[in-house]
Amino acid sequence: MHKAAAQTDPKLKANFMDLQLRWLFLARNDEFTKRLVDFSSDARRSPAFVVTADAWTDANGCHYMNRILLLDRLGQAERHIREGERHILRQREIIDELERHGRGQTRTANMAREILLSFEMTQSTHIADRERLIERLQAKA
């Protein structure tokens, strides 16, 4: 921002501002990537992904889990939904910020929209997973 403020040429100033926004965007996406790696690691370590005596398959090939495991998975789905809501909100803020600075049609803004779409699709998956788990728990009650 210091170099942008020091510029008198409007084109150079705009280029520095665009560069700054791109660096901020990259830094935020790097943070998201780190969170996604952590999230993926947690999912792989989750007991829900390990074949145990707590799960079994019936004669029709249907896979069942005990209630404790289902409740654990439901808690995990709820956490993922809360995290997803925060990611979506922040991504919308980034897009709004780009648009406020006249950068709504840049490649950076388009990438930000694609990431938002990805977040929203992932969120839909988490919500569907939560609903499926609730149905399975209600069927076991």
Take residue 49 and report the two structure tokens written for it.
């992904």
Detail the DSSP E strand segments found in 1-141.
55-57, 63-65
Q: Tokens 């406020």: give the residue.
A: 100
Q: Which residues pair with 64 in a beta bridge?
A: 56
Range 104-113 average pLDDT: 93
> How confident is the model over 53-94, as pLDDT tens digits?
445 555 555 556 678 888 899 999 999 999 999 999 999 999
pLDDT of residue 141: 65
Q: Decide: 67 and 140 in contact? Cβ < 8 Å.
A: yes
Q: Which residues pair with 57 in a beta bridge?
A: 63
Quote the percentage of the chain above a pLDDT of 70: 65
Output DSSP code: residue 57: E
Q: Tokens 């947690």: give the residue.
A: 42
